[in-house]
């Protein structure tokens, strides 16, 4: 079958790879309905994570089950399923607390930029739809697998409430999904920090009430003007750099929560600054499995359209162009037709 392999920084190829097989009785094999490229795939692509062996790329997925292991009971061949990028048993204590991304048996999905994929811990990871979804809903369901679930977690972790003032730091796909989530949770004011016209437009479409294009001190000052000079009730940090984290901390009012979902690269905290800022922080890899049934329901009933975040669609064979387009910020997020 065709699959995506990263050989070295900048060298990603669609090539023939072995078809996945059931290795554990808890596995399922799915045929992907579509796949996509994640912002986090760009870290190894850019050489910022070590590549010690060829990497089979792709952790966002939805599709039809073709085979299940002997121990799988909740999904069966022929069903359409969506799963989280974090594989979980959904039964251990962390899972029962809703933190499936810290599951005792946690693994990370890989190899999903391909025609078929193996999903370990199928019972605890996959959620099936009742019927076969319409084709135009596939991008939205695929988004639920990671980018929507992560934006949703950022808003949930930041404790967005009806009437909240919210700042979203980061205008990538996750930040835009954070705007969508904050709107769904009833935020009254959603300030999106973005300098790019197409991303600003999508943020406004998803419910942003204000756009702040300024960064640094000017950006902080602008947000404070918009929030009665006290800062926001909830801040979603969706980048993971020192600048974005500083921005998030400086626009949060005392008592606010910051939901941070950008994987930190080189971020450091000053203990005293954190102490006197009096903000709470919760972040990490999103427990997408907790939100998945609700998010799938919102997509299937057409109450949200997270699929708009895919602004480039390519066949799997053109995966290298998909990576280039995202690396050069010509695309927000690439959908791969398999």
Segment contacting Zn ion by CB under 5 A, of 102-110, 191-199, 254-262, 296-304 = 102-110
Taking a C-beta distance cutoff of 8 angstroms, is the pair 303, 322 a contact?
no
Place of tokens 């990028």: 85
CB of residue 96 to Zn ion, shortest distance in Å? 8
Q: Is the Cβ of residue 95 or residue 281 nearer to Zn ion in the bound state? A: 95
CB count within 10 Å of CB 234 equals 27
Window 31-70: contact mask with Zn ion (x via CB under 5 A)? ----------------------------------------
The footprint of Zn ion on this chain (CB under 5 A) covers a number of residues equal to 5
Segment contacting Zn ion by CB under 5 A, of 3-11, 90-98, 278-286, 304-312 = 90-98
Taking a C-beta distance cutoff of 8 angstroms, is the pair 153, 291 a contact?
yes
CB of residue 328 to Zn ion, shortest distance in Å? 38
**How far is the CA of 202 from the CAs of 17, 140, 179, 215, 249, in angstroms?**
37, 15, 10, 19, 25
Q: Which of 123, 34, 132 is closest to 80 using CA atoms?
A: 132
Q: Is the Cβ of residue 15 or residue 107 nearer to Zn ion in the bound state? A: 107
User: Which of 75, 95, 144, 185 lies at the binding interface for Zn ion (CB under 5 A)?
Assistant: 95
CB of residue 40 to Zn ion, shortest distance in Å? 22
Q: Is the Cβ of residue 105 or residue 209 nearer to Zn ion in the bound state? A: 105
Near Zn ion in 265-304, by CB under 5 A: none
Extended beta strands in 204-284, E state: 210-212, 232-237, 252-260, 280-283
Identify the helix (H) or strand (E) that includes residue 248.
Answer: helix 242-251
Q: Which of 122, 148, 132 is closest to 64 using CA atoms?
A: 132
Q: Is the Cβ of residue 84 or residue 164 nearer to Zn ion in the bound state? A: 84
Is 89 a binder of Zn ion (CB under 5 A)? Answer: yes
Q: Is the Cβ of residue 88 or residue 277 nearer to Zn ion in the bound state? A: 88
User: Which of 22, 42, 92, 263 lies at the binding interface for Zn ion (CB under 5 A)?
Assistant: 92
Q: Is the Cβ of residue 104 or residue 201 nearer to Zn ion in the bound state? A: 104
CB of residue 91 to Zn ion, shortest distance in Å? 6
Is 103 a binder of Zn ion (CB under 5 A)? Answer: yes
Two structure tokens written together for 243 = 């600048």
Cα 307 to Cα 232: distance, rounded to the nearest angstrom? 28
Cα 17 to Cα 118: distance, rounded to the nearest angstrom? 13
Cα 333 to Cα 322: distance, rounded to the nearest angstrom? 8
CB of residue 87 to Zn ion, shortest distance in Å? 9
Q: Which of 112, 176, 127, 110 is closest to 147 using CA atoms?
A: 176
Please report, as ranges, the residues that interact with Zn ion according to CB under 5 A: 88-89, 92, 95, 103
């Amino acid at each position: 079958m065709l699959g995506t392999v990263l050989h070295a920084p900048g060298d990603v190829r669609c090539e023939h790879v072995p078809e996945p097989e059931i290795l554990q009785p808890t596995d399922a094999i799915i045929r992907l309905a579509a796949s996509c490229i994640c912002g986090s795939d760009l870290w190894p692509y850019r050489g910022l994570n070590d590549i010690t062996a060829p990497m089979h790329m792709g952790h966002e997925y939805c599709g039809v089950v073709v085979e299940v292991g002997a121990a799988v009971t909740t999904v069966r061949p022929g069903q359409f399923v969506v799963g989280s990028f974090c594989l979980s048993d959904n039964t251990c204590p962390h899972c029962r607390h809703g933190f499936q991304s810290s599951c005792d048996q946690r693994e990370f999905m890989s190899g999903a930029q391909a025609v078929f994929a193996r999903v370990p811990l199928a019972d605890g990871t996959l959620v099936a739809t009742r019927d076969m979804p319409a084709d135009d809903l596939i991008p939205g369901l695929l988004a639920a697998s990671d980018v929507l679930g992560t934006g949703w977690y950022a808003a949930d972790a930041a404790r967005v409430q009806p009437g909240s003032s919210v700042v979203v730091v980061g205008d990538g796909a996750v930040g835009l999904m954070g705007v969508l989530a904050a709107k769904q949770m009833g935020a009254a004011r959603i300030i999106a920090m973005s300098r790019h016209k197409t991303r600003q437009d999508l943020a406004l479409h998803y419910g942003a009430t204000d756009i702040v294009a300024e960064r640094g001190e000017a950006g902080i000052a602008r947000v404070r003007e918009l929030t009665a000079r006290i800062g926001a009730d909830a801040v979603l940090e969706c980048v993971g750099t020192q600048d974005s984290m500083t921005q998030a901390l400086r626009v949060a009012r005392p008592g606010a929560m910051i939901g941070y979902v950008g994987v930190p690269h080189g971020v450091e905290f000053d203990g005293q600054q954190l102490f006197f800022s009096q903000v709470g922080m919760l972040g990490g890899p999103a427990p997408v499995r907790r939100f998945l049934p609700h998010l799938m329901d919102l997509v299937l009933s057409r109450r949200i359209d997270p699929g708009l975040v895919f602004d480039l669609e390519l066949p799997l064979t053109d995966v290298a162009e998909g990576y280039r387009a995202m690396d050069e910020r010509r695309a927000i997020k690439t959908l791969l037709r398999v």
